[in-house]
Amino acid sequence: MRIANIVFNSFVNDNRVLKESISLKKAGYEVEIIAHGDKDLPKEEIKNRIKIKRFNYLDRKITTSKLSKLKIYLLWLKDVVKYVKNFDVLHCNDLNTLPIAFIVKKFFNKNVKVVYDAHEYETEMNQLNKISKPLAKFAEKFLIKYVDKVITVSESIANEYKKLYPFIEKPALVLNTPPYKKIEKKDLFREKLGIDENKMIFLYQGGLSSGRGIEILLETFKQIENKDAVIVFMGYGPLEKEVKEASKKYSNIYFHPAVSPEILLDYTSSADFGILFYENTCLNHYYCSPNKMFEYLMSEIPVIVSNLYEMKRLVEKYKIGVVARENSVEGLKEAIEEAVKLDKEELRRNIQEVKKVYNWEEQEKVLLKIYREL
């Protein structure tokens, strides 16, 4: 069975797509990753014995207007349809790849199987506006009729999809968890950033963009009275400049560039607490189960999370950290003060039990079951 794992990004840091492809390859399937590359990326390469095919139209220096981005998307769409039309399965990551499956199934290969892998609550994301949101809803409602299996990343989102589209099976839950790893705790942030041994390190890792509470985190650590508490931001994105500027002015705020997935957990394990402070700006955030949560837990560090449904449910069920009373500076300050008083040994035991459940080896079983049923 030939599988085209299609993603509308350059496939440089997409760990979920890579994990799924490796799992399918190990199970005996022939897998190719089809991506949308920047001009300076190779059009073809092999990674983990998997072929990566990129159709490179994007030039970030000149591709800035909405019209130019649409033109590039349509060019990419045309090339990918032509390339994948004779594959057996199209594994479509995110809504923007589903049109490919529709065109192939409708006009070229009626026997092709389609797996829709919704990495988010696709029609309820933070960046959608009054024009793009209704378009996304219309497109998904139409295109999902041509899908054989739906996968998503949280139980709540799966339930919402079943309500929205009663004619589909309830989506399978494949959480974006890291592979199981026994952790040898590192101290890389103290070594590289010169943080004193007596300081407690709170880590935010991930995208530095709006809606993820970056501004709340910065303001909290500008005001915090606990002089032994420092925060490290590790990632990249639109708010990176703001974080870097704060790190120059405040001695308890640090910035570290994003690192590759291969060494990520070594860095994560160097913190004392992981913070996820997504804002309640959309249903996608309210129902999210971010991969960063599971990376923190695999690295055996407890978490502090904002008061959002799925994250709160996980933290309270397993007693692996603190849920903020409210999603604000004051709420985060209170959560930090509560977190430093928790029993560290009890937290460690609880997290080690959670790791046995929330790891890629367990999620892989669900993925392979889906493919056997195709």
How confident is the model over 116-153, as pLDDT tens digits? 999 999 999 988 888 899 999 999 999 999 999 999 99
Amino acid 28: pLDDT: 96
13 pLDDT more than 80 = no
Give the whole-number percent of the chain exceeding pLDDT 90. Answer: 87
127 and 265 co-located in one domain: no
> Which of 200, 230, 228, 236 lies closest to 217 in space, CA to CA?
230
How confident is the model over 249-261, as pLDDT tens digits? 999 999 999 998 8
24 pLDDT more than 90 = yes
CA 217-222-224 angle, 5° bins: 85
Chain centroid offset of residue 71 CA: 27
The mean pLDDT value for 153-159 works out to 95
63 pLDDT more than 80 = no
Q: How far apart are CA 206 and CA 100, in angstroms?
A: 29
324 pLDDT more than 80 = yes
234 and 124 co-located in one domain: no
350 and 203 co-located in one domain: yes
Burial of 260 (0-12, 13-18, 19+ CB in 10 A): exposed
Helices (H), the chain: 15-26, 66-84, 98-107, 132-143, 155-164, 188-193, 214-223, 240-249, 261-268, 283-286, 291-298, 309-318, 329-339, 344-355, 360-373
Amino acid 67: pLDDT: 84
Domain-located, residue 196? yes
Pairing of strands 50-54, 44-47: antiparallel
Domain-located, residue 77? yes
Query: What CATH number does residue 314 fall under?
Result: 3.40.50.2000
The mean pLDDT value for 340-352 works out to 95
Give the whole-number percent of the chain exceeding pLDDT 70. Answer: 98
87 and 157 co-located in one domain: yes
> Which of 255, 299, 253, 254 lies closest to 273 in space, CA to CA?
299
Q: Which residues pair with 50 in a beta bridge?
A: 47
Domain-located, residue 298? yes
- Structural domain count, the chain: 2
242 and 195 co-located in one domain: yes
68 pLDDT more than 90 = no
183 pLDDT more than 70 = yes
Domain-located, residue 347? yes
Tokens of 242: 């703001």
pTM score above 0.85: yes
Q: The dihedral of CA 369, 361, 343, 205: what is its sign?
A: negative
> Which of 87, 91, 62, 168 lies closest to 367 in space, CA to CA?
91
157 and 85 co-located in one domain: yes
The mean pLDDT value for 232-238 works out to 95
Average confidence score pLDDT of the chain: 94
Domain-located, residue 182? no
Domain-located, residue 181? no
The mean pLDDT value for 343-363 works out to 96
Q: How far apart are CA 286 and CA 306, in angstroms?
A: 10
Domain holding 252, by residue range, is: 188-355
204 and 103 co-located in one domain: no
62 pLDDT more than 70 = no
Instruction: Count Cβ atoms below 10 Å from residue 321 Cβ, excluding itself.
Output: 28
Amino acid 226: pLDDT: 86
159 and 14 co-located in one domain: yes
Amino acid 260: pLDDT: 86
61 pLDDT more than 70 = no
Q: What does the DSSP 8-state code read for residue 38?
A: B
Residue 254, SS3? Answer: strand
Tokens of 198: 């007596």
Lowest mean pLDDT among 17-26, 34-43, 161-170, 270-279: 34-43
250 and 293 co-located in one domain: yes
8 vs 14, 49, 182, CA distance in Å? 11, 21, 33
195 and 239 co-located in one domain: yes
232 and 167 co-located in one domain: no
> What is the amino acid identity at position 32?
E
350 and 367 co-located in one domain: no
Cβ–Cβ under 8 Å, residues 55 and 36: yes
How confident is the model over 246-295, as pLDDT tens digits? 999 999 999 999 998 889 999 999 999 999 999 999 999 999 999 999 99
59 pLDDT more than 90 = no
Cβ–Cβ under 8 Å, residues 253 and 246: yes
Instruction: Count Cβ atoms below 10 Å from residue 246 Cβ, excluding itself.
Output: 22
Amino acid 60: pLDDT: 64
Q: How confident is the model at residue 39 (pLDDT cuts 50, 70, 90)?
A: confident
